[in-house]
Amino acid sequence: MAPTTEPVLQVSGLVKHYPLTRGILFRRQIGAVRAVDGVDFTLGRGETLGIVGESGCGKSTVAKLLCHLERPTAGSIRFRGEDITGLSGRALKAVRRNIQMVFQDPYTSLNPRMTVGDIVGEPYEIHPEAAPKGERRRRVRELLDVVGLNPEHINRYPHQFSGGQRQRIGIARALALRPEVVVADEPVSALDVSVQAQVINLMDRLQAEFALSYVFIAHDLSVVRHIADRVAVMYLGRIVETGSDAEIYEHATHPYTQALLSAVPVPDPEARARRARIILSGDVPSPTDIPSGCRFRTRCWKARERCALEVPPLAVPPAFRGTPGPAAHDSACHFAEELPAGDCAELGVHGNGPG
Ligand SMILES: Nc1ncnc2c1ncn2[C@@H]1O[C@H](COP(=O)(O)OP(=O)(O)O)[C@@H](O)[C@H]1O
Ligand code: SF4
Ligand SMILES: [Mg+2]
């Protein structure tokens, strides 16, 4: 599904395989960790794409590839139409300014021996052209103010701040170079629930203020709901379903997304009673040994023979192609369908998959 605004990032066929080796003297490659295994998406200007999936499905690897902290094994990344995948040296440095990352853990991502002023101003040391030396201090104070911190605290150290405040410091640092794209890798996962909403609201406000485009990563669908315009659900290195907020939350057609949604708390007891509960059986397979055909089949309660033989493409499923509506969005399942409203006994989807 395409964004409604002009694309800032276009990712196509993105792959990252880490070699799996054995031996010390004679290091031999015996396989590969297929961390990211063919990912395509487009991020529109001013838009937020939420990327959601269980731990280990490749979210952080996607984030690192987007920010050039890792090199892809295959595939391409375009920024404002320009292929930036193979850039190096000065050209790469110039592009990197525009794509900044906010990290998951505000406790370990800030150097404890640096003051907040030095942390937030560090990007200016790497990109001195971004701000004249005499002006950097003033800019850092302004950044602290923008993220809701007291500029008077510029000389304090990270341990003097709470978790939520530390994540604000991480956000201020990401904004120092006035990027167009911010890749936030589980920015609130390490925070208390009450603080999570504050940080998400802050990011929402900053997006409007600075015309930012976000890739917002989370392991839980409920976290991105408030902020994402579109959502991509990942499983074992691939996107299995993607669509607008309403298409994913109200009209999911992929069994994996349906299972994730069934785990999201619903405050309304009546709605809760109506909703199907799907408990996924088994563990996520290892990314060194991905199942044939549909990679979700070992945990899917709907799996049939075809699922082991054919890889389902990420596209609008044939059943929905002729019927425009919210169910007609990209879903990589041979048997994609909406879950009927009803209780789990009727559906018989207790998650006793084929194993
Ligand atoms: N540098 C690496 N070398 C080998 N395997 C890696 C490396 N980084 C990540 N992986 C593996 O790739 C898979 C995806 O990891 P990651 O992108 O961190 O997932 P997520 O962020 O969704 O939890 C995991 O199985 C992880 O162990
Ligand atoms: S293709 Fe088959 S195994 Fe995969 S999600 Fe659909 S029904 Fe389940
Ligand atoms: Mg991660």
Give 60-84 pLDDT, tens digit per residue: 999 999 999 999 999 999 999 999 9
- 315 and 260 housed in the same domain: yes
Provide the percentage of residues in the chain whose pLDDT is more than 90.
Answer: 79
Mutation choice for ligand 1 from 60, 69, 185, CB with most ligand atoms inside 8 A: 60
The protein residue with its alpha carbon nearest to ligand 2, atom 6, reads 333
Output the CA angle 130-131-135, nearest 5 degrees.
170
- 224 and 315 housed in the same domain: no
Q: How far apart are CA 38 and CA 10, in angstroms?
A: 13
User: Which ligand 1 atom minimizes the distance to the CA of 20?
Assistant: 4
Q: Is the Cβ–Cβ distance between 290 and 34 less than 8 Å?
A: yes
Distance 39 CA to ligand 1 centre (A): 15
What is the number of structural domains in the chain? 2
pLDDT in tens, 100-116: 999 988 778 899 999 99
Mutation choice for ligand 1 from 61, 217, 220, CB with most ligand atoms inside 8 A: 61
Q: Which ligand is nearest to the CA of 56?
A: 1
As given in the structure block, the two tokens for residue 339 are 């879950």
C-alpha 155, offset from chain centre = 33
pLDDT for residue 284 is more than 70: yes
Q: Which ligand is nearest to the CA of 62?
A: 1
The protein residue with its alpha carbon nearest to ligand 2, atom 5, reads 333
Q: With respect to residue 216, please indicate whether it lies within any of the assigned structural domains.
A: yes
- 153 and 43 housed in the same domain: yes
Q: Which candidate, 212, 244, 199, places its Cα nearest to that of 103? A: 199
- 160 and 265 housed in the same domain: no
- 201 and 295 housed in the same domain: no
Q: Kindly report the pTM of this predicted structure.
A: 0.92
The protein residue with its alpha carbon nearest to ligand 2, atom 1, reads 333
At which of 182, 208, 234 does a domain end?
Answer: 234
Per-residue b or e along 160-169, where b marks 16 or more CB atoms closer than 10 Å to that residue's CB: ebebbbbbbb
Q: With respect to residue 14, please indicate whether it lies within any of the assigned structural domains.
A: yes
pLDDT for 27: 84
Residue range 237-243: mean pLDDT, rounded: 98
Q: Is the Cβ–Cβ distance between 348 and 331 less than 8 Å?
A: no
- 180 and 51 housed in the same domain: yes
CATH of the domain at 62: 3.40.50.300
Q: For the beta carbon of residue 101, count every other beta carbon within 10 angstroms.
A: 22
Distance 35 CA to ligand 1 centre (A): 6
Residue range 211-220: mean pLDDT, rounded: 96
Q: How far apart are CA 293 and CA 334, in angstroms?
A: 10
The residue written with tokens 């994730």 in the block is: 260
Q: Which candidate, 110, 38, 80, 114, places its Cα nearest to that of 314? A: 38
Distance 37 CA to ligand 1 centre (A): 12
The protein residue with its alpha carbon nearest to ligand 2, atom 3, reads 297
pLDDT for residue 274 is more than 70: no
Q: With respect to residue 1, please indicate whether it lies within any of the assigned structural domains.
A: no
Q: How far apart are CA 329 and CA 160, in angstroms?
A: 47
User: Which ligand 2 atom minimizes the distance to the CA of 302?
Assistant: 7
pLDDT for 254: 97
Q: With respect to residue 342, please indicate whether it lies within any of the assigned structural domains.
A: yes
Dump strand ranges (E) for the chain.
7-22, 28-44, 48-52, 74-79, 82-83, 99-102, 181-185, 213-218, 230-235, 238-244, 330-331
Q: How far apart are CA 84 and CA 79, in angstroms?
A: 6
- 228 and 313 housed in the same domain: no
- Quick one: pLDDT band at residue 272, thresholds 50, 70, 90? low
At which of 234, 263, 298 does a domain end?
Answer: 234
At which of 207, 234, 261 does a domain end?
Answer: 234
Q: How far apart are CA 41 and CA 242, in angstroms?
A: 9
- 116 and 157 housed in the same domain: yes
Mutation choice for ligand 2 from 300, 301, 314, CB with most ligand atoms inside 8 A: 300
- 75 and 180 housed in the same domain: yes
The total number of residues shown for the chain amounts to 355
- 221 and 262 housed in the same domain: no
Q: With respect to residue 132, please indicate whether it lies within any of the assigned structural domains.
A: yes
Q: Is 335 in the pocket of ligand 2 (CB under 6 A)?
A: yes
pLDDT in tens, 115-148: 999 999 999 999 999 999 999 999 999 999 999 9
The protein residue with its alpha carbon nearest to ligand 1, atom 13, reads 35
Torsion sign across C-alpha atoms 44, 48, 53, 55: positive
Residue range 287-314: mean pLDDT, rounded: 96
The residue written with tokens 């990352």 in the block is: 101
User: Which ligand 1 atom minimizes the distance to the CA of 185?
Assistant: 21
Distance 45 CA to ligand 1 centre (A): 28
Mean pLDDT of the chain: 91
Task: State the residue range of the domain holding 284.
Answer: 252-347
Distance 170 CA to ligand 1 centre (A): 22
User: Which ligand 2 atom minimizes the distance to the CA of 297?
Assistant: 3
Q: In what order do the strands lie in the sheet with 7-22?
A: 28-44, 7-22, 74-79, 82-83
- Indicate the residue type of 355: G
Distance 58 CA to ligand 3 centre (A): 7
Residue range 313-318: mean pLDDT, rounded: 96
Q: With respect to residue 242, please indicate whether it lies within any of the assigned structural domains.
A: no
Q: With respect to residue 355, please indicate whether it lies within any of the assigned structural domains.
A: no
C-alpha 37, offset from chain centre = 15
pLDDT in tens, 316-341: 999 999 888 999 999 999 999 998 76
- 201 and 269 housed in the same domain: no
What residues form DSSP beta bridges with 330?
A: 242
How does DSSP assign 200-218, residue by residue? Answer: HHHHHHHHHHHT-EEEEEE
Q: With respect to residue 115, please indicate whether it lies within any of the assigned structural domains.
A: yes
- 39 and 179 housed in the same domain: yes
- Indicate the residue type of 153: H
